[in-house]
Amino acid sequence: PFEPEIVRRLGGPPLTYVGHRLIDDPGLKAAHQAQMARRNDKASGKPPVCLLLPGSRRSEVKRLGPVLGAAARSLASLNPGMSFVLPAGAHVERQIRDQVLGWDVDCRIVTGETAKWQAFGEADVAIAASGTVLLELALAGVPHISCYKLDPISRLLSSLIVTWTAALPNMIAGHVVISEYYDRQLRPERLARQADQLAADTLHRAAMLADFDLIRSRMEIGVPASEKAAMTLLSVIGR
């Protein structure tokens, strides 16, 4: 929804925001409904669940997996009742299983879209690689932290980056909602302490959930994206 104004300022053609596919995704809708039900059931007594999401590319998993493993170990020592779930794509599942074998915390690996969205619906907090998954988590209503470890070439070019955030939820909200830790900023214990705070009934968690509601309201348009796109096209043809 922020793109039409940016393109207008740059002198580009008029744009119309037609919604986002994730808003109408059945699995994400189910995860959001489950999270809303959990908000209203604070006395469930269930142990907290942390999602670990090291990325969808093999190179991302290779670089970030050890960091998430160390963060999980630190989080388990802070909160012994915490359990860990890692949704894995089919193309990185073997790699992830091999990595997790070297961790000294139990982590349940789930595969497939159905299991992924179920995990989103049951999670209290997530530590995730920067990417589209941050928007998925925000729309599902899962408090989370963004992190990323750069490859050598990206590290050399990092000084050229001028944007104030790489997280889509932050861009949509217009302010910092999700904390981002990149490359040399990655400290497993810091990730663990922030995740522990977000998993509990804290003001930090409440503020993030309120921002997620704001993000969802800005992304919803009331009609399916395909219908809005067709209406926009017809209005242009009519002129």
Residues 6+ apart with CB under 8 A from 28: 22, 117, 120, 136, 139, 140
Cross-strand pairs, 168:
none
pLDDT at 41 over 80: no
Q: Find out whether 48 and 124 touch, Cβ atoms under 8 Å.
A: yes
Percent of the chain with pLDDT over 70: 99
27, 78, 228 from 83: Cα distances, Å: 22, 12, 42
Distance between CA atoms of residues 208 and 231, nearest Å: 34
Distance between CA atoms of residues 144 and 41, nearest Å: 20
Distance between CA atoms of residues 81 and 65, nearest Å: 22
| Residue 42 confidence class, pLDDT cut points 50, 70, 90 | low
What's the rounded mean pLDDT across residues 22-33?
94
Indicate the average pLDDT of the chain. Answer: 92
> pLDDT tens digits for 69-110?
999 999 999 999 999 999 998 888 899 988 888 888 999 999
pLDDT at 43 over 90: no
Percent of the chain with pLDDT over 90: 71
Give the pLDDT of residue 218: 94
Give the pLDDT of residue 155: 79
**Going by DSSP bridges, is the β-strand pair 83-88/108-111 parallel, antiparallel, or unpaired?**
parallel
